[in-house]
């Protein structure tokens, strides 16, 4: 065994997967998780691309633990026109209970020699000079050669790092979506055409909702970019029942409010002795908040950088290849979506209707969003198609006025991502990160 000690703060999906790869490579890896063993996750299912497991060197779960996800049908606010995904078989995502995903990842990591300390709350980083040298926990200080921060969006490690490292501490209100999710009883057996309906700005409320009609229950998710109360939620669910007769009134599973980051990836993900992964590095897809596949993908990239560091220095310089690879393969494709999300929030429900009904957004656009292998190519569309979309857009001058600044901002963000320093130099990286952060303002 390599005598270098790796600390994983929080049992996030990317952290536990990186832990498995590093333990397999001979490192001494311990994960510190605040929750009790067997209590991780939520009481509902999650959807993610199974190719991410393969990428991270994790076997597929047993067949009885997952099913392939239905294609989603997206609806504009008036719900007149639905656009259905046509995801090819080899790109289908899987749906799995969150607790089974955790169990699968944890068992895999344990089989590689990872140790897990449950009920151990991480309080913050330990700094020795400019280096992250360990973590403070409720059970005492722990020192290590590298801290992998997988504590999620509100990580106490990231948010307590010293200012001079240039790592953003928190996500602003606009950078998060508040989600309510619950499985309701199935109120009727009526056949529905779109089993997995995703609705934008339904009922004129700025947000995304879904109603998925399952055999046993109806899965309701309501996401808004502002806080909302249970009373508002119940009112909204009543509104949705008018067009979704299978949505019952009794909550059978879940029923919580949670927050997910929906912003651009963290500008600087590494420093000496430190690397952020998963929600801690804001790796979710900005429009929809999926983050499992990206966290798993990132675990392989981080492990590659750590293993390639033959002198085990684990400095910002040696870990930089992790950030570079993540941005190249994933982050640079996600960052412009953060601009798209903001532009979407500026639109009126009528304008979204127009985008759907005029053909500016098509079934192939909606399908492309599910392409795990091509997330970095989301903006490399067919030029002819783009010209047609621009022509359609020009018919609505108000929409042009709203979307032009977004197009300019996307251009700025794409250029900035391409200009990320290829080699680590502290001053150049900090200067670049300021430009990157500013390009979203
Ligand atoms: C309601 C909901 C639904 C979602 N649905 C999907 C989906 O269908 N598909 C998808 O791809 N993604 C989904 N996501 C997003 C996905 O969960 C995350 O992007 C993904 O899990 C990566 O986040 P993470 O594992 O890094 O962080 P988290 O899931 O936040 O995990 C962080 C871990 O660190 C632990 N922790 C936190 N603070 C401390 C501390 N101080 N000390 C010790 N431990 C700590 C937590 O207990 C947790 O175990 C959903 C998220 C939510 C909230």
Q: How far is the CA of 49 from the centre of ligand 1 (A)?
A: 16
Q: Is 100 exposed, middle or buried (0-12, 13-18, 19+ CB in 10 A)?
A: middle
C-alpha–C-alpha distance, residues 418 and 400, integer Å: 26
Q: How far is the CA of 1 from the centre of ligand 1 (A)?
A: 30
Residue 34: per-residue pLDDT = 98
276 in Cβ contact with 266 (< 8 Å): yes
C-alpha–C-alpha distance, residues 64 and 56, integer Å: 21
Q: 238 CB contacts (<8 Å, ≥6 apart)?
A: none
pLDDT band at 381 (very low <50, low <70, confident <90, very high): low
pLDDT at position 261 over 70:
yes
pLDDT at position 151 over 90:
yes
Task: Enter the tokens of residue 250.
Answer: 């009794």
CB of residue 13 inside a 6 A radius of ligand 1? yes
Residue 315: per-residue pLDDT = 98
Q: 361 CB contacts (<8 Å, ≥6 apart)?
A: 83, 355
| Residues forming CATH 3.30.9.10 domain(s) in the chain | 174-261
Q: How far is the CA of 263 from the centre of ligand 1 (A)?
A: 15
47 in Cβ contact with 95 (< 8 Å): yes
Give the closest residue (by CA) to ligand 1 atom 21: 292
- pTM, rounded to two decimals: 0.94
Residue 70: per-residue pLDDT = 87
227-257: pLDDT as tens digits: 999 999 999 999 999 999 999 999 999 999 9
Q: Give the number of the atom of ligand 1 that is nearest the alpha carbon of residue 45.
A: 8
pLDDT at position 123 over 50:
yes
Q: Which of 79-83, 92-96, 346-350 has the lowest mean pLDDT?
A: 79-83
> How much is the mean pLDDT over the chain?
92
Distances (CA, A) of 424 to 170, 268, 324: 24, 11, 10
CB of residue 7 inside a 6 A radius of ligand 1? no
pLDDT band at 423 (very low <50, low <70, confident <90, very high): very high
167 in Cβ contact with 127 (< 8 Å): no
- CB count within 10 Å of CB 115 equals 14
Please state the length of the chain. 441
Q: How far is the CA of 353 from the centre of ligand 1 (A)?
A: 33
- Which of 10, 105, 156, 198 to mutate to test ligand 1, by most ligand atoms within 8 A of the CB atom? 10
CB of residue 286 inside a 6 A radius of ligand 1? no
CB of residue 50 inside a 6 A radius of ligand 1? no
pLDDT at position 121 over 70:
yes
| Residues forming CATH 3.50.50.60 domain(s) in the chain | 5-66+96-171+263-331
Q: H or E segment at 248? A: strand 247-261
Alpha-helical regions (H) of 132-262: 156-159, 230-243
Closest by CA to 430, choosing from 312, 335, 316, is 316
301-320: pLDDT as tens digits: 999 999 999 999 999 999 99
pLDDT band at 374 (very low <50, low <70, confident <90, very high): low
Span 267-288, mean pLDDT?
Answer: 96
CATH 3.30.479.30 for the 5-66+96-171+263-331 domain, yes or no? no
Q: How far is the CA of 408 from the centre of ligand 1 (A)?
A: 32
Task: Enter the tokens of residue 204.
Answer: 């004129």
pLDDT at position 294 over 90:
yes
pLDDT at position 377 over 60:
no
Q: Give the number of the atom of ligand 1 that is nearest the alpha carbon of residue 122.
A: 42
CB of residue 260 inside a 6 A radius of ligand 1? yes
pLDDT band at 364 (very low <50, low <70, confident <90, very high): confident
Distances (CA, A) of 126 to 131, 148, 156, 410: 8, 13, 11, 37
DSSP state at residue 244: -
pLDDT at position 67 over 90:
yes
Phi, psi of 165 (to 5 degrees): -75, -15
pLDDT band at 372 (very low <50, low <70, confident <90, very high): very low
CB of residue 344 inside a 6 A radius of ligand 1? no
Q: Which fold has domain 174-261?
A: D-Amino Acid Oxidase; Chain A, domain 2 (3.30.9)
Distances (CA, A) of 403 to 173, 175, 183, 244, 339: 22, 20, 36, 32, 10
pLDDT at position 106 over 80:
yes
- CB count within 10 Å of CB 26 equals 13
Q: Is 237 exposed, middle or buried (0-12, 13-18, 19+ CB in 10 A)?
A: buried
Q: 31 CB contacts (<8 Å, ≥6 apart)?
A: 8, 10, 11, 15, 16, 19, 109, 114, 115, 116, 117, 150
pLDDT band at 60 (very low <50, low <70, confident <90, very high): very high
Task: Enter the tokens of residue 67.
Answer: 């099913």
Q: How far is the CA of 194 from the centre of ligand 1 (A)?
A: 29
Q: Which of 240-244, 323-327, 353-357 has the lowest mean pLDDT?
A: 353-357
Span 65-84, mean pLDDT?
Answer: 89
pLDDT at position 324 over 60:
yes
Span 263-270, mean pLDDT?
Answer: 97
Give the closest residue (by CA) to ligand 1 atom 26: 278
Residue 393: per-residue pLDDT = 82
pLDDT at position 432 over 60:
yes
Q: How far is the CA of 13 from the centre of ligand 1 (A)?
A: 7
Q: How far is the CA of 285 from the centre of ligand 1 (A)?
A: 13
Phi, psi of 34 (to 5 degrees): -75, -25
CB of residue 253 inside a 6 A radius of ligand 1? no
* Angle ∠(250,256,260) on CA atoms, nearest 5: 140
Residue 2: per-residue pLDDT = 73
């Amino acid at each position: 065994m390599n005598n270098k000690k790796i600390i994983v703060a929080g049992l996030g999906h990317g952290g536990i997967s990186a832990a498995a790869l590093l333990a397999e490579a001979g490192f001494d890896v311990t994960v510190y998780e605040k929750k009790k063993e067997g209590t991780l996750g939520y009481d509902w299912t999650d959807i993610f691309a199974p190719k991410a497991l393969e990428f991270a060197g994790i076997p597929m779960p047993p067949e009885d633990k997952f099913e392939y996800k239905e294609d989603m049908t997206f609806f504009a606010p008036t719900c007149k026109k639905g656009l259905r995904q046509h995801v090819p078989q080899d790109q289908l995502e899987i749906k799995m209970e969150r607790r089974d995903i955790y169990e699968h990842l944890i068992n895999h990591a344990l089989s590689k020699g990872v140790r897990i300390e449950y009920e151990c709350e991480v309080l913050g980083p330990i700094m020795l000079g400019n280096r992250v040298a360990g973590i403070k926990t409720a059970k005492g200080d722990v020192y290590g050669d590298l801290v992998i921060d997988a504590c999620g969006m509100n990580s106490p490690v990231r948010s307590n790092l010293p200012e001079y490292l240039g790592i953003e501490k928190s996500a602003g209100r606009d950078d998060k979506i508040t989600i309510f999710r619950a499985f309701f009883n199935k109120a009727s057996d009526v056949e529905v055409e779109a089993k997995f309906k995703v609705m934008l700005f339904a009922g004129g409320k700025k947000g995304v909702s879904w109603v998925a009609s399952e055999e046993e229950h109806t899965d309701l998710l309501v996401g808004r970019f502002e806080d909302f109360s249970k009373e508002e939620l119940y009112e909204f669910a009543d509104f949705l029942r008018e067009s979704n007769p299978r949505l019952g009134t009794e909550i059978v599973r879940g029923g919580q409010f949670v927050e997910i980051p929906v912003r651009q990836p963290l500008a600087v993900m590494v420093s000496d002795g430190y690397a952020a992964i998963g929600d801690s590095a804001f790796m979710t897809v900005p429009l929809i908040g999926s983050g499992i596949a990206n966290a798993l993908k990132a675990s392989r990239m981080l492990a590659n950088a750590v293993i390639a560091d033959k002198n085990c220095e684990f400095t910002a310089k040696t870990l930089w290849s992790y950030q570079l690879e993540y941005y190249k393969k994933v982050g640079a494709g996600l960052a412009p979506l953060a601009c798209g999300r903001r532009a979407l929030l500026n639109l009126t429900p009528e304008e979204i209707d127009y985008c759907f009904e005029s053909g500016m957004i098509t079934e192939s656009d909606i399908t492309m969003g599910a392409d795990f292998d091509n997330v970095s190519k989301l903006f490399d569309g067919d030029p002819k198609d783009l010209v047609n979309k621009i022509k359609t857009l020009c018919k609505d001058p108000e929409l042009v006025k709203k979307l032009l600044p977004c197009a300019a901002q996307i251009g700025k963000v794409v250029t900035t991502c391409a200009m990320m320093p290829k080699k680590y130099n502290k001053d150049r990286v900090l200067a670049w990160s300021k430009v990157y952060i500013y390009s979203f303002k």
